[in-house]
Amino acid sequence: MVNIIWACMAIIGIVYAMFNGTMDQVNQAVFESANEAVTLSIGLISVLVFWLGIMKVAESAGILEVLSKLFRPVISRIFPDIPKDHPAMGYILSNITANLFGLGNAATPMGIKALEQMKQLSGSDTASRSMITFLALNTSSLTLIPTTVIAIRMQYNSISPTEIVGTTIIATMISTVSAILIDRFFYYKSIWRK
Amino acid sequence: MGIITSVSTWLIPCFILLVLVAATWKRVPAYETFVEGGKEGVKMAFSLLPFLVGMIVSISILRSSGALEAFVGFISPLLISIGIPPDIIPLALVRPISGTAALGMTTELISTHGPDSFIGRLASTMQGSTDTTLYILTVYFGAVGIKKMRYALKVGLLADLIGILASIIIVTIIFG
């Protein structure tokens, strides 16, 4: 599906530009955005190196183990096919915690580590059930405190920059619960088909 | 706000402190382990690069051609008729595709309508309660080399749709 979406976005854009005389902008966008993507990847190096380094220390020091033991009952229900003592649990938890506090930069490396562990479990290059559940959680956004939005609201002199925290938490809860339910729906549908 | 900001500022340094104290206590070679873990980060950033270039270029072709805007204009009468404010539609459409574009749109909506207006509050809530599905799938699956995503994209996009609708309903109930 991602192959189709990826190709279609570019095809629609180029064909539309043919009839609307925006080919100049498209041409410019191709090179500028490729450049932007490289800058973004290079920019990620610092964050990835630092957090993967710290997390490796945390793992050897047994901190991830303690963390996963604490929250095991909840997490093992959401991820039933990950063995209870597996290191993936610790990374899943650190990713969720970092997301909840709006630390997106710290959340990504931990999320990638979690997926790596899940890939070792499944041993194939096809997304496993737990991987999809994990990404569903991440894409539905787990933010409790939307720090960036609060910062923008402050910049534009809002009377109450944080008044949207409540509505954000409710909307996030609804989308996260829905994401888990939708994920379950497609999972059981894929089983029935077999 | 005071408590929230200080929690966010204290959390990371305290976590680092905890990790380093625990490592020293358990006689883990902290620095060497850090460097070992960090090396993976360098590899990861480079393996991500082609995924990001591909996705970002395709998205920006779609945006720069004006096709996305035209589509928004095309479907907005329908959405207005069911009570969704048209100004918010571009944001709702772009949010799953591009994080920076969505943040730019949120900022623009807040500056034109004011942070305490209905649109301003709705844009803020929407920005905070959804995430860049396409980017997350690209980065996460790209980094560990997952080639077949199966139903992951469907789940992500449907969750975004629900998040957006939930934001509209909740902001209408609370601030409407």
Domain positions in chain A? 46-193
- Assign A126 to helix, strand or coil: strand
Q: Is A1 on the interface with B (CB under 8 A)?
A: yes
Q: What is the pLDDT of residue A166?
A: 86
How many C-beta atoms surround the C-beta of residue A73 within 10 A? 8
Contact A57, B23 (CB under 8 A): yes
Percent of chain A topping pLDDT 90: 36
Nearest residue to A9 via CA among B130, B136, B55: B55
What pLDDT sits at residue A126? 93
Q: Across the interface, which of B45, B46, B150 has its CB nearest the CB of A126?
A: B150
CB contact under 8 A, A14 and B54: no
B79-89 average pLDDT score = 81
Q: What is the pLDDT of residue B8?
A: 58
Please report, as a single letter, which amino acid is at residue A167. T
- pLDDT for A102 equals 60
Tell if the CB–CB gap between A57 and B42 is shorter than 8 Å. no
Whether the pLDDT of residue B123 is over 90: the answer is yes
Q: Do B175 and A37 touch (CB under 8 A)?
A: no
pLDDT in tens, B9-33: 677 788 889 999 999 999 999 999 9
* pLDDT of amino acid A2: 67
pLDDT at B63: 84
pLDDT 10s digits, A120-129: 999 999 999 9
Question: CB atoms < 10 A from the CB of A145, how many?
Answer: 21
Distance CA B15, CA B19 (A): 6
**B171/A contact by beta carbon, under 8 A:** yes
Q: What is the mean pLDDT of chain A?
A: 86
CA B19, CA A26: separation in Å to the nearest integer?
48
Residue A154, pLDDT above cutoff 90: no
CB atoms closer than 10 angstroms to residue A71: 15
Q: Is the pLDDT of residue B122 over 90?
A: yes
CA distance A115 to A100: 19
Q: What is the model's pLDDT at position B7?
A: 62
Q: Please spell the DSSP secondary structure of B128-168, one letter per residue.
A: HH---HHHHHHHHHHHHT--B-TTHHHHHHHHHHHHHHHHH
pLDDT in tens, A70-102: 777 888 899 998 988 888 888 898 888 778 766
Model ipTM value = 0.77
Is the pLDDT score of A119 beyond 80? yes
pTM beyond 0.80:
no
Question: Measured between alpha carbons, how far is A22 from B65 in angstroms, rounded to an integer?
Answer: 5
Instruction: Considering only residues B152 and B100, tell me which one the structure prediction assigns the higher pLDDT.
Output: B152
Nearest alpha-carbon partner for B19 in A95, A67, A58: A58
Judge whether A172 and B163 are in contact, CB under 8 Å. yes
Give dist(CA B148, CA A125) in Å, integer.
Answer: 7
Query: What token pair was written down for A100?
Result: 């909840």
